[in-house]
Chains A and B, each alone.
Chain A
Amino acid sequence: MSDISAAFVTALGLIARLDVNLVEIVALSLQVSLTAVAVAACVGLPLGAAVALGRFPGRRVLIVLLNGFMGLPPVVVGLFVYLLLSRAGPLGALGLLFTPSAMVIAQATLITPIIAALTRQVVEDAWREYEEQLRSLGVTPRRAVFTLLWDTRFSLVTAVLAGFGRASAEVGAVMIVGGNIDGVTRVMTTAIALETSKGDLPLALGLGLILITLVLGVNAAAYVIKEAAQRKFG
């Protein structure tokens, strides 16, 4: 129990002094995860909608794969991306290993299935409700993709937030492809892992509390925006 109270004290101290290292790490964490979410959303939202509305051979297999890949182990994704980006690998010439870009790629790979699978479910349910009316107006499934994505936008915000949560929480992928380099690729989760392995548990826990607060903050902001918009648009 004293470890936990020590953690609170440490956390507050770090925040109060605006500890330079902490600010750097928090900024990088947000930058990497938010960029990864943006990329994953650009790919996952239309992909999920297309799978929801399309009819093609292997569709059901694809749905099972998308749902299953929501549970991709981050460390496996990290290893896979590492092998791709390593100098000894196919994309080695890009020199992206051990940079934040590699971390963005790994996290985006990790969370695209989450966003796509949730989008598919949401859009499929919406299509069930809208299909007759939209087809009556001459909307083909292909044109319906963006109409439905926009119409279900409030539910999709939740899907995107789920992706963001997963990205900011994971450590396995960014550790392997980023290398946890001080000042370059160290983010909240890898810093916590490092401090834990050094035995400095109060500091690790303190960083953990800050991370949780950060993620809650993002979710709270999204909720408020969503509520306001929902009141406006129903």
Chain B
Amino acid sequence: MLRHRLLTFIGVLAVAILAAAPAPAQDKFITVASTTSTEQSGLFGHILPLFKAKTGIDVRVIAQGTGQALATGRRGDADVVFVHDRASELKFVDEGYGIERREVMYNDFVLVGPKSDPAKVAGTKDVAAALKKIAEAKAPFASRGDKSGTHAAELRLWKIAGVDPESGKGAWYRETGSGMGPTLNTAAAMDAYALTDRGTWISFKNRRNLAIVVEGDQRLFNQYGVMLVNPAKHAHVKKDLGMAFIDWITSPEGQKAIADYKIGGQQLFFPNYRKAGAS
């Protein structure tokens, strides 16, 4: 008697919980694990409605760091992964978690810093030299420290500069372990240098004393790649819908949509898909 009541009770609870799901479950949708830079710059806000208008497919974007997005893809919790760390992406494909990798667009990183510029690096064209000077001056530097694409790029640049930033850990090298926005917030509050993608920087509103100090170095080039999560590993992946997205974003139409996205007249992302160049 009690058990019967208990089971009915659990059944009612389950119905209540599931009823909270959004009503249009019949809508076509895909889940895309991407990075905070693509969402926070407003790019997705611009291009996804165009995609939906054309195909009727809803794109649900989970904005995480590159490391977390790839982990989400590995677990099969997303259909498509769209990040910016070539080395990790290739590893992802090699391990069999991703297929149909295509290079989609690039933007660039910039080094920002306080207007007071304690390391005297403003205006340099050589980012590695600038980083070396920052380390020598022990000027505060805010790093994302979160295995994101930006973090990976930052570490590569430190290596080129011949500096081990860990030596300054806890002193001038501050790892926030968070996304681009929070890291910039921290840098602004601490008057620290930081590496950021231009897209996030342009739409970032809490700059305080920060400004761009180094830009234009070829090594600051930041490539984005898109991949379908391998249906062979996760049978439930929406292969057709996911490929529709990947095909569209690398089509002339999609590439134009990316190029058309501007903030204050400035283009943020540069489409560069080449059929032959696909990895």
Q: Would A and B touch once assembled, by the CB under 8 A criterion?
A: yes
Q: Which residues from chain A sit less than 8 Å from chain B, CB to CB?
A: 31-32, 35, 38-39, 42-43, 86-89, 92, 95-101, 103-105, 108, 179-182, 184, 194, 196-201
Cβ of B7 under 8 Å from chain A: no
Known: A88-B76, A196-B181. 13 other contacts (CB 8 A): A35-B17, A35-B19, A86-B75, A87-B76, A101-B18, A104-B17, A180-B63, A196-B182, A197-B185, A198-B204, A198-B205, A199-B181, A201-B206
CB distance from A39 to the nearest CB of B (A): 6
Q: With contacts A181-B62, A199-B204 known, is A99 near B22, CB below 8 A? A: yes
Question: Is B20 touching A198 in the complex (CB atoms < 8 A)?
Answer: no
Q: With contacts A87-B236, A92-B76 known, is A43 near B185, CB below 8 A? A: no
Q: In the complex, what residues of B have CB within 8 A of residue A108's CB?
A: 17
Cβ of B13 under 8 Å from chain A: yes
Q: In the complex, what residues of B have CB within 8 A of residue A35's CB?
A: 16-17, 19-20
- C-alpha gap A141/B182 in the complex (Å): 53
Q: In the complex, what residues of B have CB within 8 A of residue A180's CB?
A: 62-63
Cβ of B276 under 8 Å from chain A: no
Question: Is B75 touching A198 in the complex (CB atoms < 8 A)?
Answer: no
- C-alpha gap A117/B245 in the complex (Å): 49
Closest 10 CB pairs of A and B: A197-B181, A199-B206, A87-B76, A179-B62, A88-B75, A199-B205, A199-B204, A181-B60, A101-B21, A104-B20
Q: List 22 A-B contacts (CB under 8 A).
A: A31-B20, A35-B16, A43-B13, A86-B77, A87-B234, A87-B236, A88-B74, A88-B76, A98-B60, A101-B17, A103-B20, A181-B60, A181-B61, A182-B45, A182-B61, A184-B22, A197-B36, A197-B178, A197-B181, A197-B182, A201-B205, A201-B206
